[in-house]
């Protein structure tokens, strides 16, 4: 894990104990910090007690696991419950604990700061609210010499992040990808000198970050998304642009929508960038020609991903031969137009990563006859972003919180629809209806949190359902 003396002796409250929260607690304790941890889920609170003692961290600081030889921590206030084992972590709700004297409240990106009371309570105490990416930024001075690539945008972040990482590995450069993809960044072992951290950054993560100075900062596109977390679309776009306000390195921007062009224009004027705006690289999908040699990078949406990834690799000093090789053998991402199996002549495709309609459009465009499974927590109340692709939809199968909404919208457009409710029901109904040569596509156009932990869990469930069909 990433351990840094910069955290030693500091006090942190960690709210949210999913993967990134647990990694944050472990890294802070291993660094010698005093931590108050909390989650609304009692099972996650209990899991803090089962974390192993830190290894390779600061000797003599205690651990998180119970057992002989560990002393109980001293409660920081009457509201805190002592945790067995370890002298530097306690359980306590930061909405109750006196935050005076804390250095920061570290929250999960899933905590809606526009609605959650922790934002106001921390502000009243003069305590910053940050995320694990900001902690990584603060720890960078303790790490071997390295560079950081930060990649944001509404769609294509995961593919572009994974592709940049793959191009670096192909070139023999030590690399690690994290942030909104893969394992939590604080839980990873530091790279050796010369390594490159490639971070996928959602707007939520950027909102919780203050000092991440990227050597290469990337913006792919900006389309309406997450509007439940922002006052309006302009506020969401401004969140993406903040990446450049923190960064003094090269800026790579795909200038193919009004919002990204506006960010690029501001940087060209020297506005909104941590330096004078130099080092701006503008890219377009049209920069990429024939894609036929890249099996996992087909389609116009991937042309933008490739154009950006090539620009990033070149900015990092990558050679053309390694870039060409990496594009050819890039394997693609799980849960993104992933071909799961062909059963009875019907292809089943897992595109669970498509969490908004704009992201779903390329998947619908890729197949002429689609049985489309969609739904979850809706981010928009319409299907305008996929209107041009709806002619490919043979039938729809609506699931989750937005099942009624999407069943109505598809019916209004004359598309047969099953209001399935659950993924299992939808897959069963699609299997009955689909004919050889057609495709059953899970591309929900929605977030997963109404029924699943995340889009990966949703995609895994789809894989399992399809796997159960195999003879």
CATH assignment of 338-467, among 3.30.200.20, 3.40.50.1370, 3.10.200.10, 3.90.190.20: 3.90.190.20
Q: Which of 226, 301, 371, 379 is catalytic?
A: 226
Average pLDDT on 244-259 reads 95
Q: Which of 146, 155, 180, 221 is catalytic?
A: 180
- pLDDT band for 298, please (50, 70, 90 cuts): confident
Q: Which of 157, 301, 371, 379 is catalytic?
A: 157
Q: Is the pLDDT of residue 434 over 90?
A: yes
Distance CA 233, CA 223 (A): 8
Write down the mean pLDDT value for the chain.
Answer: 89
* Alpha-carbon distances of 178 from 40, 181, 234, 308, 386, rounded to whole Å: 25, 5, 27, 18, 30
Q: Is the pLDDT of residue 276 over 70?
A: no
Average pLDDT on 111-117 reads 88
Distance CA 283, CA 306 (A): 10
Respond yes or no: is residue 180 known to be catalytic: yes
Residue pair 341/355 in contact by the 8 Å Cβ criterion? no
Respond yes or no: is residue 157 known to be catalytic: yes
CATH topology of domain 135-329: 3.40.1190
What b/e readout covers 65-79, taking b as 16+ CB neighbours within 10 angstroms? Answer: beeeebeebebbeeb
350-400 residue pLDDT tens: 999 999 998 899 899 989 999 999 999 998 999 999 999 999 999 999 999
Measured over the CA atoms of residue 271, residue 272, residue 278 and residue 281, the dihedral's sign is negative
- pLDDT band for 52, please (50, 70, 90 cuts): low
Q: Are 135-329 and 338-467 the same fold in CATH?
A: no
- pLDDT at site 48: 83
Give the residue extent of every domain in the chain.
5-130, 135-329, 338-467
Looking at the DSSP assignment, which residues form a beta bridge with residue 363?
A: none
Going by C-alpha positions, the residue among 452, 340, 437 that lies closest to residue 399 is 452
* Alpha-carbon distances of 342 from 89, 116, 444, 467, rounded to whole Å: 50, 45, 20, 10
pTM for the model stands at 0.78
- pLDDT at site 83: 36
92-109 residue pLDDT tens: 999 999 999 999 999 988
Q: For 5-130, CATH number?
A: 3.40.50.720
- pLDDT at site 278: 65
- pLDDT at site 275: 63
């Amino acid at each position: 894990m990433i351990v840094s003396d910069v955290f030693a002796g500091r006090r942190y409250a960690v709210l949210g104990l999913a993967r990134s929260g647990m990694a944050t607690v472990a890294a802070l304790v291993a660094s010698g910090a005093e931590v108050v941890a909390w989650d609304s889920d009692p099972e996650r609170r209990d899991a803090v007690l089962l974390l192993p003692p830190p290894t390779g961290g600061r000797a003599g600081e205690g651990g998180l696991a119970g057992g002989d030889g560990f002393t109980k921590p001293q409660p920081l206030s009457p509201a805190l419950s002592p945790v067995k084992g370890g002298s530097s972590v306690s359980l306590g709700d930061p909405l109750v604990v006196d935050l005076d004297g804390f250095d920061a409240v570290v929250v999960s990106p899933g905590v809606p700061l526009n609605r959650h009371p922790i934002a106001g309570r921390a502000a009243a105490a003069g305590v910053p609210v940050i995320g694990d990416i900001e902690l990584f930024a603060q720890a960078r001075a303790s790490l071997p010499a390295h560079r950081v690539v930060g990649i944001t945008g509404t769609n294509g972040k995961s593919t572009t992040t994974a592709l940049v990482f793959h191009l670096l590995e192909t070139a023999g450069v030590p690399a690690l990808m994290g942030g909104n993809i893969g394992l939590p960044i604080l839980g990873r072992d530091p790279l050796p000198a010369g390594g490159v951290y490639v971070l996928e950054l959602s707007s939520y993560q950027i909102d919780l970050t203050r000092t991440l100075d990227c050597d290469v900062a990337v913006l792919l596109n900006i389309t309406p998304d997450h509007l439940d977390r922002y006052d309006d679309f302009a506020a969401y776009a401004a969140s993406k642009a903040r990446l450049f306000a923190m960064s003094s390195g090269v800026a790579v921007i795909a200038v193919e929508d009004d919002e990204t062009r506006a960010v690029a224009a501001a940087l060209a004027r020297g506005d909104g960038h941590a330096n004078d705006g130099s080092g701006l690289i503008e890219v377009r999908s049209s920069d990429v020609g024939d894609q036929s040699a890249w099996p996992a990078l087909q389609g116009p949406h991937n042309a933008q991903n490739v154009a950006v990834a090539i620009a990033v690799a070149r900015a990092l000093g990558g050679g053309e031969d390694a870039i060409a090789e990496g594009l050819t053998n890039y394997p693609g991402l799980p849960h993104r137009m992933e071909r799961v199996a062909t059963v009875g002549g019907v292809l089943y495709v897992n595109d669970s990563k498509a969490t908004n309609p704009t992201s779903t459009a390329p998947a619908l465009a890729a197949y002429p006859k689609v049985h489309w499974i969609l739904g979850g927590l809706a981010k928009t109340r319409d299907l305008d972003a996929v209107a041009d692709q709806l002619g490919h939809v043979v039938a729809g199968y609506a699931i989750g919180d937005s099942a009624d909404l999407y069943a109505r919208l598809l019916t209004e457009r004359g598309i047969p629809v099953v209001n399935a409710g659950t993924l299992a029901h939808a897959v069963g109904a699609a299997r009955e209806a689909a004919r050889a040569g057609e495709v059953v596509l899970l591309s929900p156009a929605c977030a997963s949190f109404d029924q699943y932990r995340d889009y990966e869990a949703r995609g895994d469930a789809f894989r399992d359902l399809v796997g159960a069909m195999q003879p």
